Amino acid sequence: MTAPKVLISDSMSSKAADIFRDRGIDVTVSPKMSPDELKDAIGEYHGLAIRSSTKATADLLQSATNLKVIGRAGIGVDNVDVPFATKQGVIVMNTPFGNAITTAEHALAMLFAVARQIPAASASTHAGKWEKSKFMGAEITGKTLGLIGAGNIGSIVAARAHGLRMRVIAFDPFLSQERAERLGMEKVELNDLLARADFITMHVPKTKETVNMLDVDAIARMKKGAFLINCARGGLVDEEALRVALDEGRVGGAAFDVFAEEPAKENPLFGHPNVVVTPHLGAATTEAQEKVALQVAEQMSDYLLDGAVANAINAPSLTAEEAKTLDPYITLVKQISSFAGQVTDEEVQSIQLTFEGDAKNLPHAPLLQTAVQAVLAPRLSSINMVNALEIAKERGIEISHTKNEADSDYHTRISVSLKTPTMTRDIKGTLIAGKLPRIIEVKGIAVESDLEGDMLYVTNQDKPGLIGAVGTIFATKGINIATFHLGRTVPGGDAIALVKVDAPVPEEVVAELRTLDYLDRVVPLKF
């Protein structure tokens, strides 16, 4: 098999390239490519490793015809068009833990710097002045720290703040009461935090929900004289409104490492005596940059070689061991869902998976993605596991799954149920010996068969002569039957057949089969 190819298009530790090479991946390091050069080259690569300089825009991604994964050595993915990457079926990974300590430390350093006016005092002293009485700072001990965002970085800041004898309160919609108590912080609403906190630090991503979350009204609700520190993402704070509040003395000071527009050559906060600014240095330590470079190389290698997904923005995480365990189940779901999709002519309104037996304890997200991809693939050639759920959402298709706790005759059984405007179709499958996928039921009729290669799905009334009639037509056309599996409701009732053949059945032969009186439907299948 040809080795996957990865392009490192930003400057990062050389050890990242070493990891790719050691794992057998063909790596190219080219950190000084222009956007046009990158666009011309990207089509041959399966992976793109970046930091913040490369802009993975929709225009670039349209040229990335072989791309499977983008790895961001760092937390923020503002420079990646994640929705478009998802539509293209490209996994986007970041490294949320490699620079967490460094970023948390920078937030605290900025807190100290603005509280004690250290940068201004340093510049004054360097200038030969001795303005001791000019720089009156604020004490940290005993003050209330308000965290906006209490995830990985926020929790590290909280732990360090406890060592400074600060009280910690936090606003985070995803923070449970149990975790808040474990981290020694009080969970509060945003307005409560703004009113109580002496120092506010921000630790949230930039999303449509968080853009300008501290607008003019929110800033007006801040405790008079409070300090605001943002080392998370630019655009979380209305910078113009903050400048007004600083000028009026309602906000005691601000420390910003990130800005709405970067690189920030001009900004409303620049030049204010009570504002400390740095050029997006939150993750800028030697230790952090090496950590994230190594981490992104390992994650991308694991995905390209083993299918393991870690720290993905647009896909569920899956270890290499989980991927290996899931492999037969994914094959089963893919086959029975593909069967359901190929035999369904109408618009699909909903897709539901039901898990029984051993399948109940599996990670279900990858199986749902597989099912949606396989069902819709006959209509959408560009669909894959990464973009499947997004495409289903765009088309208004409801996706769900459930566990059947009742006793089953099978060690594992998975059902795919499709709902259309006029019907519901149920397909069930199992694994023989834990690894061999088999279809075992179609629309309530028991029929066992493997699903591979070229097949025909036939529905008919249970009358004598089906096998002979089909066999005769195939014989005259030189088509060899590999297997012939039958099922029926009751003698003389509805019946189905799954016929495996050695080659695709020509359309004219399918048309001839459809002329037989006792056949209701004939559908060619391909697995």
Say which CATH topology domain 316-451 has: 60s Ribosomal Protein L30; Chain: A; (3.30.1330)
452 and 459 in contact (C-beta within 8 Å)? no
Between 77 and 70, residue with greater pLDDT: 70
3-state secondary structure 142-182: CCEEEEECCCHHHHHHHHHHHHCCCEEEEECCCCCHHHHHH
Active site residue 280: yes
DSSP result, 203-236:
-----TTTTTSB-HHHHHTSPTTEEEEE-S-TTS
With bands split at pLDDT 50, 70 and 90, how would you rate the model's confidence at 271? very high
Asked which of 101-115, 139-153, 319-333, 444-458 is least confident by mean pLDDT, the reply is 319-333
Query: What's the whole-number mean pLDDT along residues 108-119?
Result: 97
With bands split at pLDDT 50, 70 and 90, how would you rate the model's confidence at 114? very high
Residue type, 465: G
Residues carrying CATH 3.30.70.260, the chain: 452-527
316 has pLDDT over 90: no
- pLDDT over 70, % of the chain: 99
**Catalytic, out of 203, 233, 364, 413:** 233
**Catalytic, out of 46, 72, 280, 413:** 280
Q: Which CATH number fits domain 452-527: 3.90.650.10, 3.40.50.1370, 3.30.310.10, 3.30.70.260?
A: 3.30.70.260
Give every CB contact of residue 123 below 8 A, 6+ residues apart in sequence: none
Between 412 and 205, residue with greater pLDDT: 412
Would you give the DSSP letter of residue 405? -
Q: How far are the Cα atoms of 149, 154, 436 from residue 100, in angstroms, in the given order?
A: 13, 9, 44
Active site residue 262: yes
pTM of the model: 0.62
**Catalytic, out of 262, 290, 452, 512:** 262
382 has pLDDT over 80: no
Burial class (CB in 10 A: 0-12, 13-18, 19+), 372: buried
> Which pLDDT value is given to residue 405?
81
387 has pLDDT over 90: no
Paired strand residues for 171:
148
> Which pLDDT value is given to residue 309?
85
Residues carrying CATH 3.40.50.720, the chain: 5-96+287-306, 100-277
Q: Which CATH number fits domain 5-96+287-306: 3.40.50.300, 3.10.150.10, 3.40.50.720, 3.40.190.10?
A: 3.40.50.720
235 has pLDDT over 90: yes
CA–CA distance, 126 with 133 (Å, rounded to integer): 16
Active site residue 452: no
> Which pLDDT value is given to residue 74?
86
> Which pLDDT value is given to residue 151?
87
Quick: pLDDT tens for 455-487: 999 998 888 888 888 889 999 999 999 999 999
Quick: pLDDT tens for 93-111: 998 778 889 999 999 999 9
The CATH superfamily of 100-277 is NAD(P)-binding Rossmann-like Domain (3.40.50.720)
Q: How far are the Cα atoms of 90, 146, 207, 263, 368 from residue 313, in angstroms, in the given order?
A: 11, 27, 13, 24, 17
